[in-house]
């Protein structure tokens, strides 16, 4: 799997921490910022239109939403509702797109005012003063409810996700607690301690089960606040007596051609950074029994994030050194490796 240089799609004016893709609307949503420090780096959420132009993917900025002094560190998307993790809080945003046709009159001959620019080779207007129609896109973003979701001494929301029908969202952070909230009121309906220390990631399954991974080296499956089981990725995989591993990320994914099929995917990384780092591992699990199906090494670069395509066909891995790898979900076989940037990939969406 040779490394390729990925073409640059968009360069944000701030550090990027979270990405989401809305395939139905052709939107890429990018968020981040410089935080509350007075460095001159703004905080915002950018909404980009994705298009295929001459066979290549292009992104153009539709709207920039200012988040003032709060950098968005994590995102979840449900329809036109965004849940944004900003410091110790979760902020709900609603965005709307309106396309309107505007009428423009072409300027008279010799006039300094120009009408809309025509495509190359397009026929000229038949007469001066003819009306032309041009589509205009109106984009609006509205702040909805916000709530504090983490209460440690140095509070930070690290992850947020919606359930399958977008009626609930779950948050996790540095205090080790999972909190579940109604959408859009953000009324708290559940709270329990899932880990000793920080929650690194969580995933909600369609049957209501919740998977959490934390800095205490554990990965747990919950039904509401009741522990169902803990995951043991090394049962049928490699064992290392002197190298403790922790779970870095977890995601559910569909099984292609099986409407009721469900897989869980996790990433395991060395708990401590070593001069000669051991490999990271990618594991596929049965989504109902939570038994490991297969485990594969995914290289020595430390994995920072995991994404599953909507169809469940592909997995995406981002690393702390800035590369992105694509894997086949069924076999865990690597197919592409891209060198994207020179810093940690903290957000990834397929």
* Structural domain contains residue 249: no
pLDDT tens digits along 115-155: 333 333 344 444 444 454 456 778 999 999 999 999 999 99
pLDDT of residue 321: 84
Does residue 262 carry a pLDDT above 50? Answer: yes
User: Which range is least confidently modeled, 22-26, 91-95, 149-153, 313-317?
Assistant: 22-26
How high is the mean pLDDT of the chain? 86
Question: pLDDT for 32-73, tens place per residue?
Answer: 999 988 888 999 999 999 998 888 889 999 999 999 999 999
- Assigned domain for 67 exists: yes
Residue 180: inside a domain: no
| Residue 178 lies inside a defined structural domain of this protein | no
Confidence check: pLDDT of 215 > 70: yes
- At residue 146, the pLDDT reads 98
How far, in Å, CA of 263 to CA of 265, rounded? 7
How many residues make up the chain in this entry?
350
Rounded Cα distance, 22 and 55, in Å: 20
pTM for the predicted model, two decimal places: 0.84
CA distances, 142 to each of 47, 168, 205 (Å): 13, 19, 28
- Give the β-pairing of 27-33 and 43-53: antiparallel
Does 171 map to a domain? no
| pLDDT for position 123 | 40
Quick one: pLDDT at residue 322?
Answer: 81
Model pLDDT, residue 137: 78
**Percent of the chain whose predicted confidence (pLDDT) is above 90:** 66
In a domain, 272, yes or no: no
CB 159 within 8 A of CB 150: no
What's the rounded mean pLDDT across residues 16-38?
A: 92
One DSSP character per residue, 98-141 reads EEEEEEEEPPPTT-S---PPPPTTPPPPSSTT-EEEEEEEEEEE
Q: Is the pLDDT of residue 110 over 50?
A: no
* CA–CA distance, 52 with 59 (Å, rounded to integer): 9
User: Are the C-beta atoms of residues 248 and 303 closer than 8 Å to each other?
Assistant: yes
The pLDDT of residue 8: 79
Q: Does 230 fall in a domain?
A: no
Q: What is the pLDDT at residue 145?
A: 97
Considering its fold, how many domains does the chain have in total?
1
Q: Is residue 298 part of a domain?
A: no
Domain assignment of residue 20, given as a range: 1-74+89-100+137-143
Greater confidence (187 vs 346) lies with 187
Between the alpha carbon of residue 293 and those of residues 65, 155, 296, 334, the distances in Å are 43, 36, 10, 17
């Amino acid at each position: 799997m040779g490394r390729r240089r990925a073409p640059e799609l968009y360069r944000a004016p701030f550090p990027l921490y979270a990405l989401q893709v809305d395939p139905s609307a052709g939107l890429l949503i990018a968020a981040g910022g410089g935080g509350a420090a007075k460095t001159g780096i703004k905080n915002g959420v950018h909404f980009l239109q994705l298009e295929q132009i001459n066979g290549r993917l292009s992104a153009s900025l539709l709207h920039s939403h200012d988040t003032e002094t709060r950098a968005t560190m994590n995102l979840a998307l449900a329809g036109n509702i965004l849940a944004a993790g900003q410091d110790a809080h979760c902020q709900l945003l609603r965005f709307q797109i309106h396309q309107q046709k505007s009428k423009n009159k072409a300027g008279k001959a010799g006039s300094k005012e120009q009408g809309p620019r025509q495509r190359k080779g397009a026929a000229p207007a038949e007469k001066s003063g003819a009306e032309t129609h041009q589509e205009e896109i109106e984009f609006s973003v509205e702040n909805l409810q916000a709530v504090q979701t983490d209460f440690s001494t140095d509070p930070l929301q690290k992850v947020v996700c919606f359930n399958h029908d977008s009626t609930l969202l779950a948050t996790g952070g540095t205090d080790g607690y999972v909190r579940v909230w109604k959408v859009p009121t953000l009324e708290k309906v559940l709270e329990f301690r899932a880990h000793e220390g920080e929650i690194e990631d969580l995933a909600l399954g369609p049957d209501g089960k919740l998977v959490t991974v934390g800095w205490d080296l554990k990965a747990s499956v919950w039904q509401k606040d009741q522990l169902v089981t803990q995951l043991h990725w090394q049962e049928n995989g490699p064992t290392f007596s002197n190298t403790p591993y922790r779970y870095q990320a977890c995601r559910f994914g569909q099984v292609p051609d099986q409407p009721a099929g469900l897989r869980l995917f996790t990433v395991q990384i060395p708990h401590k950074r070593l001069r000669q780092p051991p490999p990271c591992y990618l594991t596929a699990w049965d989504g109902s029994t939570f038994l490991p199906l297969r485990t594969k090494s995914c290289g020595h670069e430390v994995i920072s994030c995991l994404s599953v395509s909507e169809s469940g066909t592909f997995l995406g891995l981002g690393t702390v050194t800035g590369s992105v790898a694509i894997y086949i979900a069924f076999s865990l076989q690597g197919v592409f490796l891209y060198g994207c940037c020179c810093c940690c990939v903290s957000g990834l969406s397929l």
